[in-house]
Amino acid sequence: MGYSAFKVFWEGLTGNKGWKPVWREPDPKPQYDIVIVGAGGHGLATAYYLAKEFGITNVAVLEKGWLGSGNIGRNTTIIRSNYLLPGNQPFYEKSLKLWENLEQDFNYNAMVSQRSILNLIHSDPQRDAFARRANAMRLSGADSELLGPEEIRALCPFLDFDNARFPIQGALRQKRGGTVRHDAVAWGYARGADMRGVDIIQNCEVTGFRMENGACVGVETARGPIRAGKTAVCVAGSSSRVMALAGMRLPIESHVLQAFVTEGLKPTLPGVITFGAGHFYVSQSDKGGLVFGGDIDGYNTYAQRGNLPVVEDVCEGGMAIMPMIGRARLLRMWGGVMDMSMDGSPFIDKTHIDGLYFNGGWCYGGFKATPASGYCYAHLLATGRPHEVAGAFRLDRFRRGAPIDEKGVGAHPNLH
């Protein structure tokens, strides 16, 4: 069913009774060309691009809960391509370009809102680092600007310019950065994949991999075995647990990232703002809530909840940078389990087991990567070769000595 203003109008006139299910609820078939494990954003995007770009539609996406229940349903919705390192930046720029055409591409309004991202600068070394980054962004074909305090004041007069412990000295701005309605991304990809014949099977947990002669030939599930030409794991947050079923240990730890939203408020913020001298980033949703977050709690956990010290730390950052939000009430906090990798960067790769592929390690940056991750994973699955913008995301990079460490903190997952 195509969506359009006319369709909404017609259904409105006829009592909204003609809407059809956005996706089928199929039973699993015994065999698929490709089985994707995990119907989160990346898994659904992979299925969508496999079908749409590579013509592979005999595909199942298996999900242990409801589709979109991964971190696509729990994040702060930010998109940007303001990375530094050559292993990362072209990938995120590819992702941003896909975001920019996504809605027309999958005929679903995910409210891609490019209202800019502003990374505030509070020291000279930080300015040097952001200048390096801004130029790296330009070299990758992305947009970037360095702003001075007066330009920032004009954009955001509510920031603390006069009484700050760490005065604002400037900012890196990417105008094309912004936010997206996160759930709609999952729904749009699911709908697009389903329409092209992909089976999305909810409430179907994978409990093991079927191995023959050392190769992976499918999965065991709560709803019986399913054979697959290729098995593509895409379960960030549960990566270690699922890959352990194949006997693999990963360069990943699980950590919780808390995020927060306030009660609805009339629009105030011009885009995404990040504080450079504390852990705080914020945007305002189309419904009016301030959506914000900060640092991960810092200890290994699979519990989707955090603790008070980090809540306080994040709010301290918020009050330090924009003291006007003191009377805004925090309405809801939630925690997502992150695949924190050893260098803060992800993996899209074949494993050493034939037929088994892995996509994970997205740390807390997986949302913005969704389209490119799906596209590049589909490319790898369809062609057997990594996509050129994802060539650095290999599992063997630590053995080779080629980490992609944007923050420069080394093999400390909780510091990335």
Partner 1 sequence: MIIDHPLLGPRDAAEFVYKGDAALIDRPDWQAEDAADKFHEYMYLRDNVAGEMAELWYHEHGDRSWLVVTRNTLTHKITSVELARDVARRRGRGK
Partner 2 sequence: MTRPNRLNPGLTDRARPLNFSFNGRNMMGYQGDTLASALLANGQRLIARSFKYHRPRGVFSAGSEEPNALVQLRRGAALEPNTRATVAELFDGLHATSQNHRGSLEFDIMAVNDLLAPFLSAGFYYKTFMWPKAFWEKLYEPVIRASAGLGRLSLQPDPDVYDHGYLHCDLLVIGAGPAGLSAALAAGRAKARVIVADEDFRPGGRLNSETYEVDAIPGHDWAARAWAELLAMDNVRCMTRTSVFGAFDHGIFGALERRTDHLANSGGKPRQVLWRIYSRRSVLCAGATERPIAFANNDRPGVMLAGAVRAYSNRFGVTPGQRVAVFTNNDDGRRTAADLSALGVAVTGIVDTRLDEFIVDTTGRKELKTVLTNAGRRIEADCLAVSGGWSPNVHLTCHQRGRPTWRDDIAAFVPGPDLPPGMAVAGAANGAMTLAAALAEGRAAANAAVRDLGFAPSRKPVPRAEDEAFDIKPFWHVKGHKRAWVDLQNDVTAKDIRQSHLEGFRAVEHLKRYTTLGMATDQGKTANVLGLALMAEASGKTIPETGTTIFRPPCTPVPIGAFAGRARGRDFRPVRRTPSHAWAQENGADFVETGIWLRAQWFRHPGEKGWRDSVDREVTQTRRSVGICDVTTLGKIDVQGRDAAEFLNKIYANAFAGLPVGKVRYGLMLREDGICHDDGTTARLGETHFVMTTTTANAATVFRNMEFARQCLWPDLDVHLISTTDAWAQFAVAGPNARALLAKVVDDLDLSNAAFPFMACAECTVCGGTPARLFRISFSGELAYEIAVPARYGDAMIRALMAAGKEFAVVPYGTEALGVMRIEKGHAAGNELNGQTTAAQLGLGRMVSKKKDGIGSTLSERPEMNRDDDLRLVGFQPVDPSDALNAGAHFIEINDETPDMHSDLGWMTSVAHSPELGHSIGLGFLKRGADRMGDILRAYDPVRGKDTRVRVVATHHIDPEGERQRG
Q: How far is the CB of 100 from partner 1 (least distance, A)?
A: 35
Its sign, for the CA torsion 227, 231, 233, 234, is: negative
Site membership for partner 2, residue 249 (CB under 8 A): no
3-class DSSP state of 138:
helix
366: exposed, middle or buried (Cβ count in 10 Å: 0-12, 13-18, 19+): buried
- Per-residue binder mask for partner 2 (CB under 8 A), 379-398, x = binder: ------------------x-
Q: Are residues 162 and 201 in contact, defined by beta-carbon separation less than 8 angstroms?
A: no
35 in Cβ contact with 63 (< 8 Å): no
Does residue 408 interact with partner 1 by CB under 8 A?
Answer: no
Among 105, 300, 328, 354, binds partner 1 (CB under 8 A): 300
Q: State the residue for tokens 């360069």.
A: 251
What distance in Å separates the CA atoms of residue 178 and residue 114, rounded to the nearest whole number? 4
- Contact flag: residue 86 with partner 2 (CB under 8 A): yes
Site residues (CB under 8 A) for partner 2, limited to 112-171: 112-114, 122-125, 127-136, 138-141, 144-146, 157-158, 160, 163-167
CA atoms within 13 A on the CB side of 152: 28
Instruction: Enumerate residues 166-205 that contact partner 1 by CB under 8 A.
Output: none
**Taking contact as CB under 8 A, which single stretch among the options 9-17, 213-221, 354-362, 408-416 is the one that binds partner 1?**
408-416
Q: Which does 251 bind (CB under 5 to 8 A by kind): partner 1, partner 2, none?
A: partner 1
Residue closer to partner 1, measured from CB, 334 or 398: 398
Q: Are strands 59-62 and 199-201 parallel, antiparallel or unpaired?
A: parallel
Q: Is residue 153 a contact partner of residue 124, using CB atoms and an 8 Å limit?
A: no
Q: Does 211 bind partner 2 (CB under 8 A)?
A: no
d(CA 341, CA 360): 9
Please identify which residue in 8, 303, 324, 331 interacts with partner 1, judged by CB under 8 A. Answer: 303
Asked if 336 is part of the footprint of partner 1 (rule: CB under 8 A), the reply reads: no
Q: Give the end-to-end CA distance of the chain in Å, rounded to a whole number.
A: 43
Out of partner 2, partner 1, none, what residue 183 binds, judged by CB under 5 to 8 A for its kind, is: partner 2
Residue with tokens 């695949």: 339
Considering the complex, state which of residue 156 and residue 243 has its C-beta at the smaller distance from partner 2: 156
How far apart are the C-alpha atoms of 320 and 280, rounded to whole Å? 9
Is 334 among the residues that bind partner 1 (CB under 8 A)? Answer: no
Task: Scan residues 215-274 and list those touching partner 1 (CB under 8 A).
Answer: 240-241, 249-254
Min dist CB 228 to partner 2, Å, is 25
Among 144, 174, 258, 301, binds partner 1 (CB under 8 A): 301
Q: How many residues does the chain have?
A: 416
Per-residue tokens: 165: 């412990």
- 42 or 173: CB nearest partner 2: 173
